[in-house]
Amino acid sequence: MNPHFEGQEHLSFCDIACASTILNTLFPSQKLNQSIIYSYVAKAHMSNGITLAKLSLFFQICGVYSIIRYSDHENFEEQFREDIKKQDNFIIVNYWRQYYINEKDYIHKSGHFALIAGFDQKTDYVLILDPNATRFPHHWLPLKHLVRMMSTYDKMASMPRGYLIITHQNNNKQSDQYRIYL
């Protein structure tokens, strides 16, 4: 996945950057960039950001199978632990984050999408491939902290946040059928 990683081209493209990275990992001959994905697929479904459901729909339009896991599920943390251990899974997390912007003396608060690139069972940390790589390099984060960040309410979706699973094994069988018709 890392050779196909793309930082987000625009401030609101964290979801599209994650999708581009996964699609180019699954189907490297397609060579899709964020502008193509936005113009031909995502633009029709985005209005001031995107929800997990709309991101899942985007993958469906591209012929890629995905599963949504919302944080209101009773065993959310245990399910997340199981899912990140499966090597055939690509995971996009949707979480609430806050950070201080020095230049503006401002605390930025927003929903965000990022990729999970690894899990260290000994330390209980997950590796985040942040599409906003110019501001936030890839980093390790305690799993429990990430679960708390995902266990927030998404006002735009009127639902809890969570994560999206794209299973490489299921989609690999469809690779010859995958097309974005331009």
- pLDDT single digits (tens) 27-82: 888 778 888 888 876 677 666 668 899 899 889 888 899 999 999 988 999 999 99
Q: Is the pLDDT of residue 167 over 60?
A: yes
Q: Is the pLDDT of residue 118 over 60?
A: yes
- CA pseudo-torsion sign 106, 133, 27, 36: positive
Q: Which SS3 state, helix, strand or coil, does residue 38 take?
A: helix
How many Cβ atoms are within 10 Å of 145's Cβ, its own excluded?
13
Please check whether residue 129 is in contact with residue 115, taking contact to mean a CB–CB distance below 8 angstroms. Answer: yes
Q: Is the pLDDT of residue 166 over 70?
A: yes
| Domains of the chain (ranges, CATH numbers) | 2-172 (3.90.70.30)
**How many Å apart are CA 49 and CA 38, to the nearest integer?**
12
Q: How many residues does the chain have?
A: 182
**How many Å apart are CA 179 and CA 177, to the nearest integer?**
6
Across the range 83-108, mean pLDDT stands at 85
Q: How confident is the model at residue 178 (pLDDT cuts 50, 70, 90)?
A: very low
